[in-house]
Amino acid sequence: MHDVHASPLTYTKPASVRDHVTRASRLASAVAALTAAYHGRSGVCLLPHGFDAFSTRVHSARLAQTSIDVQTYIWRDDATGRFIARELLLAADRGVRVRVLIDDMDARPRDLALAALDAHPNIDVRVFNPFRTRSGLLRTIAELSQRGKRLNHRMHNKSWIVDRAIAISGGRNLGNEYFASAESMNFIDLDVLMLGPAVEKTAREFDAYWNCSLAVSIAHLRKYSRRTIDPAKYRLRLEQHAREAMAAEYARMLDEQNGLTVLLDRRYVWSADVRVVADHPSKALGAGSIASHVLDSMVEEIRAASREVLLISPYFVPGMGGTAALRSLALQGANVEVLTNSLAATDVAVVHSGYAKYRRPLLEAGVRIYELKAAAVIDEHPSRFRVGSSRASLHTKAAVIDAERVFVGSFNIDPRSAELNCEMGVWVRSAALAQELALRFREGTHPLRAFELQVTPDGKLTWIDRDGDAMHVHHREPHASSWRRAISKILGALPIESLL
């Protein structure tokens, strides 16, 4: 395969925005009828369950009549990933305009499939901050040596927008482990489903990324390649996957539901204060002066807190500044609590090495820290996929501030999210939503699901493991192998925190 010789930044393409809706789709009409009574407020509800997050996406795609916009960091070539690809093709067959924007960290292995999707006249696929080299280990290493600083900046945003009527945003990528359907390990994750003005705000952020110079057509990237896949063969492959046992089970469960009911018959909270925040795409250029709008919003909200801060972050490396801010709040009497992954549960052990050194100073100031157990039970509706693993890893990125302000997004509290990746999130002022998310936090920190960390009077770190009436005290990272502990300790001594 030949490299793409022209720099992606020299690629010129027509700007595009969502088509103006020339006819009211069934979904848009139903949403308009629901929102009319709320006078400009946005409806927001949490999507904590894997199957629910999957079904909302599929049902909205099936109801789409004008447009579907998808922005993602990862799109797996697995059962749920293929199911979604087939739904996008079927929507495009009906005349729906589909736009897919995917970060190139995951896109390169899926070049052929993405190009086959892009071949449909109603589907456009763009890749964010692409490698010029599309395959080959040596060529990739060579490009990383020349452009590694730039390529280390990725688009971590996630959004799903249909007919300018509904939007989904949060932490989930597209793949089995994000929808509680993987056999080895599943993520505890969270999205928000939005109606009303927040949808337009989400759509504007999508357009900003879609039209930036870093978003390059997959057709442009593939034009030097000899390898292709015939779109008809790719469609046939998706149809074959649709007949496999897992996909057939998904289809059966979805067919038992009414799409509009799934999307609209929910306990929405209605708020006039819903902020969709996203970093400017130029942050991926690596310019040090580009601010992180998501980080700034998080800092602003935490500084304004007076009573309570609940943080959920799978990768938690608060740094000196974040540690000082959380310590200060706790020392002033605020309740500050953090839920993150244990070393045994995390899927990125190197990040855990950066987090470990901040535990003791936070605990000593009164911050309560919980670490998710690898064997934590994932709560699902009775209609869950029933094929997923019981092993869990935290992937939710969320916060509750003073029992009235809620954040859900893609932003981890770590240097990578703050300085390197483009991120997005949603802030909602709602006591009801804050109460619901706080309940989720309490479920996540329940002794059956998480260790509570403490510091002994002589300064030693311990993990409290409660199982019913029994209590065990661990004096080293619980349930993690000796090898994992050793690697984490070694990595913690290296000057790599800015990359975590």
DSSP code string of 10-70? G-------PPP-SS--HHHHHHHHHHGGGTTPEEEEEE-SHHHHHHHHHHHHHH-SSEEEE
Residue 355 DSSP class? H
Residue 404 DSSP class? T
Find the catalytic residue in 49, 283, 373, 395: 395
Q: Is residue 243 part of a domain?
A: yes
CB burial class (10 A; 0-12, 13-18, 19+) of residue 490? exposed
Clarify whether residues 280 and 254 are in a common domain: no
> Letter for the amino acid at 352?
H
Residue 283 DSSP class? G
Which tokens in the block code for residue 260?
């509009």
Low-confidence ranges of the chain (pLDDT < 50): 1-13, 20-22, 380-389
| pLDDT given at position 136 | 77
| pLDDT given at position 2 | 36
Q: What is the dihedral of CA 136, 141, 145, 147, to 10 degrees?
A: 40
- In CATH, what number is assigned to the domain containing residue 209? 3.30.870.10
Find the catalytic residue in 49, 153, 156, 201: 156
Clarify whether residues 291 and 212 are in a common domain: no
Residue 120 bears catalytic tag: no
Instruction: Give the CB-side neighbour count of residue 184, counting CA atoms within 13 A.
Output: 3
Q: Where are the alpha helices (DSSP H) in 78-136?
A: 79-93, 104-107, 111-118
Clarify whether residues 342 and 487 are in a common domain: yes
- What are 450-481's pLDDT values in tens digits? 999 999 998 899 999 988 778 899 999 998 88
Reported pTM: 0.92
Clarify whether residues 277 and 259 are in a common domain: no
Examine the fold and report which residue of 231, 264, 297 is the final residue of a domain before the chain moves on.
Answer: 264
Please, what is the end-to-end C-alpha distance for the chain in angstroms?
32
* Cα 204 from Cα 260, distance rounded (Å): 25
Clarify whether residues 290 and 313 are in a common domain: yes
Find the catalytic residue in 69, 106, 118, 163: 163
Taking a C-beta distance cutoff of 8 angstroms, is the pair 210, 16 a contact? yes
| pLDDT given at position 288 | 59
Residue 397 bears catalytic tag: yes
Find the catalytic residue in 153, 158, 201, 241: 158
Clarify whether residues 307 and 190 are in a common domain: no
- Rounded alpha-carbon distances, angstroms, from residue 102 to 52, 136, 137, 152, 175: 23, 20, 21, 15, 13
Taking a C-beta distance cutoff of 8 angstroms, is the pair 101, 210 a contact? yes
Examine the fold and report which residue of 216, 239, 264 is the final residue of a domain before the chain moves on.
Answer: 264
Rounded to a whole number of angstroms, the CA Rg of the chain reads: 22
Q: What share of the chain is helix, strand, coil (3-state, %, to 5)?
A: 40, 20, 35
Taking a C-beta distance cutoff of 8 angstroms, is the pair 189, 156 a contact? no
Give backbone dihedrals phi and psi of 405, rounded to 5 degrees, phi first: -120, 135
Taking a C-beta distance cutoff of 8 angstroms, is the pair 125, 114 a contact? yes
* Residues facing residue 318 across a β-bridge: none
Count Cβ neighbours within 10 Å for each residue of 333-369 and write b for 16 or more, e otherwise.
ebbbbbbbbbbbbbebbbbbbbbbebbebbbebbbbb
Clarify whether residues 233 and 295 are in a common domain: no
* Residues facing residue 120 across a β-bridge: none
Clarify whether residues 354 and 404 are in a common domain: yes
Q: Is residue 88 part of a domain?
A: yes
Q: Is residue 4 part of a domain?
A: no
Q: Is residue 33 part of a domain?
A: no
Clarify whether residues 204 and 334 are in a common domain: no
Q: Is residue 184 part of a domain?
A: yes
Find the catalytic residue in 120, 207, 402, 479: 402
Residue 106 bears catalytic tag: no
3-state secondary structure of 278: strand
- Rounded alpha-carbon distances, angstroms, from residue 171 to 19, 73, 119, 395: 27, 10, 29, 7
Which domain does 102 fall in, by range? Answer: 39-264
Clarify whether residues 311 and 223 are in a common domain: no
Q: Where are the alpha helices (DSSP H) in 134-278?
A: 137-151, 197-210, 218-222, 231-242, 245-255, 259-264
Q: Is residue 18 part of a domain?
A: no
Give backbone dihedrals phi and psi of 495, rounded to 5 degrees, phi first: -85, 65
Residue 402 bears catalytic tag: yes
Find the catalytic residue in 59, 397, 414, 465: 397
Q: Is residue 456 part of a domain?
A: yes
Q: Is residue 188 part of a domain?
A: yes
Which tokens in the block code for residue 177?
């482990």
* Residues facing residue 472 across a β-bridge: 465
Clarify whether residues 392 and 489 are in a common domain: yes
Examine the fold and report which residue of 235, 264, 293 is the final residue of a domain before the chain moves on.
Answer: 264
Clarify whether residues 227 and 340 are in a common domain: no
* Cα 210 from Cα 99, distance rounded (Å): 9
Beta strand 368-372 with 215-217: parallel, antiparallel or unpaired? unpaired
* Cα 356 from Cα 352, distance rounded (Å): 6
- Count: domains in the chain: 2
